[in-house]
A = this chain, B = another copy of it.
């Protein structure tokens, strides 16, 4: 079971000593063990041997360590915080798109039920802006504002916070490259028309239609994202290569 057989004698001795220490419960659960330097001196072995023993224990899940913090008993605590960077590393563009496809139709439906007339007016205004923005950068800005306005109109602050979380991940990371390539002139005009349908359904209080229109819009976005990620593209030298590899190397993948 353990790879202790591959360890040296002193490491093995350290491992036995450590197991005794842990088993006898001298250290309460979730408590920090003494620093490696102390522990090594206490057991009477070198730090290197100790560390190899600790590696085994960590692999077994009995302890966990973190640089600068220390060595702790028990399983590594789940990283349940809403650290934006951490999340950006763990997720990927397709996951984000999947979540948008689940959440935003809900928001559109709720918006159709709860939007005030002022909200609707604002949506119409934003839709105009997206339609009239010539450059892609401008479109991106107004599009983002429009989607958020729909989320606001849904009238649930927690859902709005969730939307913001997704939106920040979408914008924060280095997937910008993808988005840049994903928006071409003809697609943008299609998006504008889809926006119109969503807003029309909201203003006419047609919950089902709003939900469906938003889903169709996001499916179109998703499809164009997929196409961009999988289709080959030619760089300046004219050599074609899979862009998926490019973007993958740009993403910092967590463990």
CB of A99 within 8 A of CB of B165, answer no
Copy tally for this chain in the complex stands at 2
Q: Is the interface of A mostly helix, strand, loop or mixed?
A: helix
Which of chain A's residues 132-185 have a Cβ closer than 8 Å to chain B? 156-159, 161-162, 164-166, 168-169
Given known contacts A102-B106, A106-B102, A161-B87, A156 and B95 CB-to-CB distance under 8 angstroms? yes
CB of B82 within 8 A of CB of A158, answer no
Q: Shortest CB–CB separation between residue A173 and chain B, in angstroms? A: 12
A-B contact pairs, 26 of them (CB 8 A): A80-B164, A80-B168, A82-B82, A82-B84, A82-B161, A82-B164, A82-B165, A87-B157, A90-B161, A91-B157, A91-B161, A95-B157, A95-B158, A96-B158, A98-B156, A98-B159, A99-B156, A99-B158, A99-B159, A99-B162, A102-B106, A158-B166, A158-B169, A161-B165, A162-B165, A162-B166
